Structure 1
Amino acid sequence: MLGTSGTKPGYPSDLKQHEYSSQSWTYKVQKGSGVSNGMAVRQPPVIWAQRESFLYVTIEIDDVTVDDLTADNNKLHFKGTSHTEVYETTLEFFAEIVGSDMKRTPTNTRVIELNIPKKEAKWWPRLLKEKGKVSESLHF
């Protein structure tokens, strides 16, 4: 449920980064927006968690139609449409994944949940290959 400012209750309205971590789980929220090919494209909220041998990625978009969802050696690309909005993101991961073994968990129409095996079973210090702030439209 969203508060009056359009954010989840308990979250500040200017939330750009939120991170939790524990010894066995790490998960983060990414939000933003961008422009691609002259057409306004929104950056979907992405939450991720990890285990030693898996990444768990959740893309939070209500009533989305998935136009493209692909994973290769170290990248995940998503493009989808919800109502009149177009959402797109490409994530270049910290290390290699086994994209061909990615599984999409059947869920409700509010989120897309992905289980992505890591090529090498070890903990990553961060999700993305690039350190620091990636761009103005991508926040972790």
Structure 2
Amino acid sequence: MSRHPTVKWAQRTDRVYITIDLPDAQDVKLKLEPEGKFFFSATSGPDKIPYEVDIDLYDKVDVNESKASVGLRNIHYLVKKAENKWWSRLLKQAGKPPVFLKVDWDKWIDEDEEGKDDKPPADMDFGDLDFSKMNMGGLDAEAAGGDENDESDTEEENEVGTTPAGNREAPPPSTSSEPDTKTA
């Protein structure tokens, strides 16, 4: 039985962005039909686990103007709408969408905000890129300076306050020579 990868989507008046999150996808098959039928299948991982998405998009699409890009971590599909109009949802069927389908808030623009910044999202510019020649690696947390277990601050340093500008200020001076007997 096939599993469903996470599918994220966003739209503009004339197009829909679909991103399928599936690292190391192999044997990728994409099919888009003019009436809005979208099909994706692939395998992933050392066990070649099968993944599949079969959905009916809200309205008709222009298959010839639509583009796909298969990357190391996800598959991007730019779907050109047949008519330049805002869809009320991604799927033809009404009701609650499937759990694997999510809004891509990184690419989302509200209908009334469209046109103020018409350039496509950075990761959807397909151009003439050869994805096989790109270094898709990243830094690990320690190399990036993100050591979460760093306990170099002492209690005294943690008690010292900071000003809104981020400058440290000294703790208030003690007014009594007697030890502080307050309990927290």
TM-score normalised by the chain length of structure 2: 0.50
Distance apart, 1:66 and its partner CA? 3.6
Aligned length: 99
| 1:94 alignment partner in structure 2 | 58
Distance apart, 1:133 and its partner CA? 2.8
Secondary structure of residue in 1 paired with 2:61: coil
- Would you say 1:128 and 2:84 are equivalent positions? no
- Larger RCO (CA within 8 A; separation ≥ 6): 1
| 1:104 alignment partner in structure 2 | 68
Secondary structure of residue in 2 paired with 1:62: coil
- Deviating above 6 A after TM superposition, structure 1's stretches of 4 or more consecutive aligned residues are none
Query: What CA deviation, in whole Å up to 9, does each residue of 1:100-131 have, x standing for no partner?
Result: 3221236x400001111000000001000000
Secondary structure of residue in 2 paired with 1:117: strand
- Would you say 1:78 and 2:40 are equivalent positions? yes
Q: Which structure is larger by alpha-carbon Rg, 1 or 2? A: 2
TM-score normalised by the chain length of structure 1: 0.64
| 2:17 alignment partner in structure 1 | 56
Q: Once superposed, what is the RMSD of the aligned Cα atoms?
A: 1.8
Distance 2:85 2:32 in 1: 19
Distance apart, 1:67 and its partner CA? 3.5
Task: List alignment gaps of at least 5 residues for structure 2.
Answer: 103-184
Matching residue's letter, 1:111: N
The structure richer in helix per residue is 2
Distance apart, 1:139 and its partner CA? 5.0
Instruction: Give the conservation status (yes or no) of the 8 Å contact 1:76–1:92.
Output: yes
Task: List alignment gaps of at least 5 residues for structure 1.
Answer: 1-39
Instruction: Give the conservation status (yes or no) of the 8 Å contact 1:104–1:115.
Output: yes
Distance 1:41 1:63 in 2: 16
Between the aligned residues of both structures, percent identity stands at: 32
Query: What CA deviation, in whole Å up to 9, does each residue of 1:43-67 have, x standing for no partner?
Result: 1110001000001000000000144
| 1:119 alignment partner in structure 2 | 82
Matching residue's letter, 2:21: E
